[in-house]
Amino acid sequence: MSRPLVPGATIGVLGSGQLGRMLALSARRMGYRVQTYSHDRDTPTGQVADREWVGEYMDLASVGEFAQAVDAVTFEFENVPFEAAAQAAEYTRVRPDGHVLHTAQHRLREKTFLSDNGFPTAAFERVADRASLDHAIQRIGCPAVLKTAGFGYDGKGQAIIHEPADADQAWQAIGTGEAVLEAFVDFAREVSVVGARGADGAFCHFGLIENRHRDHILDVSIPDRAVDDEQREAAVAIARGILEQLDVVGVLCVEFFVRRDGTLLVNELAPRPHNSGHFSFDACLTSQFEQQLRTVCGLPMGEPQRLQPSAMVNLLGDVWDGGDPDWAAAVADPRVKLHLYGKAEPRPGRKMGHITAFDDDGEAAAARALAARAALIRQSE
């Protein structure tokens, strides 16, 4: 096991969005320096980092220079090309290891890994071209969901096939590239487990989180909403098994469908902190971001215990439709915490920030957070 990196060391982040920003805030609080690498300037992470490198991920020479300037590298979203992670590993430690990124950033590799290792998933078939889509539909049946094999998130790169006649339209909708056809899951709800694993194999998690979506984008997350203990234990056991099988050192989120009969199917893996775990920044003794820092540095993990029932709601660019939001109205509730990501341009569907609220139980906290978000939106005269 590598020697722990102590405060004063420099953490490099491939990617520069809000996840990197919250990691950087946690790192700065503990005395670490942070550098970030992406193709953008004045980014959410760059605004709080010591240095913001600007370059393409496939400019491997530049990535190599970046890796030599830091003591460890992690990533804040899974669409960083695997080649960039592999290049960084030539010069410094990369956590999670690049093979985790390689698996999770490609749906076919991800589904194959899960299936081969006995983790429950919906039935799926590889779709290499238009002709193989017809054969896949015959085997999977309808309805089914066609998804791009790589680089999809928040419902992007997906199309539902209700009947075989929809195949042409779905194939065009996803861009006519390599894809995966999955059986449609009639689920009762979606949940996630954000887990962390240290270099010593220690594991911890942030409970079972219920996630409610709107237009395929996460809208509300409620940690440890009242669920069956057996279901919670099963989800955590699956998540732990995945982290161990992948030999993850870092944070990884496992997203699940809960079927009508209560059984679980793994939907997706995210090999980094996750939107559904944002509540932990305020609500836990140790947040998912501090846990990422600790695992990357080889430090013992902190206690993830929640301090009070809480819930999180996303703030999308749509909140700005009526003009500048009424920030004072939102934070008039003393049990509300506001987080903004430093993005200059609000756009519909773009994640601009989030609100975490506290109350006596998760549902009440969610109602409080939703009320605070509603208060942001200025009514037209």
pLDDT tens, residue by residue, 245-301: 999 999 999 999 999 999 999 999 999 999 999 999 999 999 999 999 999 999 999
Residue 173 backbone phi and psi in degrees, to 5:
-65, -35
**Rounded to two decimals, what is the model's pTM?**
0.94
Q: What is the pLDDT of residues 83-110, one digit of tens each?
A: 999 999 999 999 999 999 999 999 999 9
For residue 379, the model assigns a pLDDT of 59
- How many Cβ atoms are within 10 Å of 150's Cβ, its own excluded? 18
Domains along the sequence of the chain with CATH: 10-94 (3.40.50.20), 123-183 (3.30.1490.20), 187-376 (3.30.470.20)
DSSP 123: -
Q: What is the pLDDT of residues 203-250, one digit of tens each?
A: 999 999 999 999 889 999 999 876 778 899 999 999 999 999 999 999
The residue with tokens 């698996």 is 103
Give the amino acid at 94.
V
DSSP secondary structure letters along 38-65: ES-SS-TTTTTSSEEEE--TT-HHHHHH
Rounded Cα distance between 240 and 235, Å, is 9
Question: Residues 280, 281, 286, 290: is their CA dihedral positive or negative?
Answer: positive
For residue 358, give Cα distances in angstroms to 25, 368, 369: 22, 8, 8
